[in-house]
Amino acid sequence: MISQSLMQVIIVLLCAFLLKKVIIFERKKKSPPNLKHPPSPPAIPLIGHLHLLKPLIHQAFRDLSIRYGPLLYLRVGSVQFVVASTPSLAKEFLKTNELTYSSRKMNMAINMVTYDNATFAFAPYGTYWKFMKKLSTTELLGNRTIGQFLPSRTREIHEFIQILADKSNAKQRVNLTEALLRLSNNIISQMMLSIKSSGTESEAEQARGLVREVTQIFGEFNISDFIGFCNKWDLQGLKKRAMDIQKRYDALLEKIISDREESRRKTQVTKVVGCEDKVKDFLDILLDVAEVKHSDVDLTRNHIKSLILDYFTAATDTTAISVEWAIAELFNNPKVLKKAQEEVDRVTGNKRLVCEADSPNLPYIHAIIKETMRLHPPIPMIMRKGIEDCMVNESMIPKGSIVCVNIWAMGRDPNIWESPLKFRPERFIESEGSAIDTKGHNFELLPFGTGRRGCPGMPLAMRELPTIIGALIQCFEWKMFDSKGKMLEHGKSLINMDERPGLTAPRANDLIAIPVARFNPTPFLQV
């Protein structure tokens, strides 16, 4: 016999269950007739579609989109993803519904390393983000500031070419991957903190090492971010690594900032003649802003540290990786390389080194950059978090869903590009392709994102890339080696173009080469 109290509990639970069904039924009656999620693969209870993913997530998403369609719904643990893989869908999310998708998803590693809510890159769309965006575009990365640091960028590129020329004379191998990272890091270190590499223990060297660790951990999949009951455990050791990275980064930045504050105090006391004409780096600009009272935003020390980290990671890895992919593609496509060298030779007359002022006269170099970013975008997916429900293509995208615009997949889509896997820069010079730019206006090519959350560093990147790539192909041919140390035959053997996991989708193997000088560049260098 069932006791009376137990029977009452059963009746209450049954009534609650029936009431819930009635409420759901009534909501469906009031909802639009075609209200539904986008297509989705079969899911497993608790983990959802976790079993369908692989380390290169953008490739896994592309494979699933080919099977289930360009608008795809996935659930990884408790997190909902919507994957978009066409220009029209990219436009729908990033322009038509831009305000709904103007926020980014944080995760454990990002929270810990970027001082929680102090980050600009991952901050929600609001007062702080708007303030930092304006500061970035008008002060930190405005045309005036970028122009002031032209001599510094030129000197760094010339020193880089001199190092390669010395390696060429000695017939020595160079790790081009590491050398390009050092170059891009030196440039941004000078602009941000007035420091550069000079020995293994330099502040710039420490910063560059930390940047690589940050971009790697930001791009790694952490199961605790998706499976709710796992968030109390550090199953993969990522929390421990993130804490270690943050501790080392904070110590480095604290020393740099403290030294700068002491230097500023001494300057104010002594009023050194000529200091007014000194070009201010990013740190000086940020400290000036932090001293302003009654500003729209009170800039804290953590804000400054986090913003510096944002720009270090954005301007070091992405620039270096884009140049590396371009050089690898040019080695694999000797006809394209020859045509690019002829353009640079024609512009410079081989009487000087190519420079930033030559950029408007290098359309084929710009086409190479676009073609490189089509196949190897610096950030393979644009990810946004929805702040409210949204209808796209007659599908309901629930509030809180993470929308992933898979620009890597779009760059390889035969429905968008003719012969998509072929490296053919001419597509951006001929007919309709000439109108496609890197600003994301056409949505076929989105290497820097688009709209409000487009990358503020694009103007700097598009000054650096043509100059660095132009100088490398103007001054050198390349003897390349595979991952096992075997020399590749130019025009016959191909460099492996596999990727490895990371926030910036770098090449799987370092690019090792012996530079072969086309002429002696030393007389043209400012070193």
Tell me the whole-structure pTM to 2 decimals.
0.87
What tokens were used for 56?
């290169």
Q: What pLDDT score was predicted for residue 17?
A: 47
Cα separation, 379 vs 407, in Å, equals 8
Which pLDDT band holds residue 417 (cuts at 50, 70, 90)? very high
Residue 230 known to bind ligand = no
Cα separation, 347 vs 231, in Å, equals 57
Question: Where do we find the tokens 């940047």?
Answer: 211
Through-space distance between the first and last CA atoms of the chain, rounded to whole angstroms: 95
| Least reliable range by pLDDT among 133-137, 395-399, 432-436 | 432-436
What tokens were used for 137?
């575009």
Answer with the residue of higher pLDDT: 31 or 262: 262
Cβ distance 40 to 72 under 8 Å? yes
- Element of type H or E holding 214: helix 203-218
Mean pLDDT of the chain: 86
**In the predicted structure, residue 27 carries a pLDDT above the cut 50:** no
pLDDT per position as a tens digit, 481-519: 988 889 998 777 899 999 988 778 889 999 999 999 999
Q: Return the percentage of the chain with pLDDT > 70, whole number.
A: 89
Read off the pLDDT of each residue in 22-47 and give the average, rounded to a whole number. 67
- Element of type H or E holding 174: strand 174-175
| Least reliable range by pLDDT among 58-72, 94-108, 363-377 | 94-108
In angstroms, what is the C-alpha Rg of the chain? 26
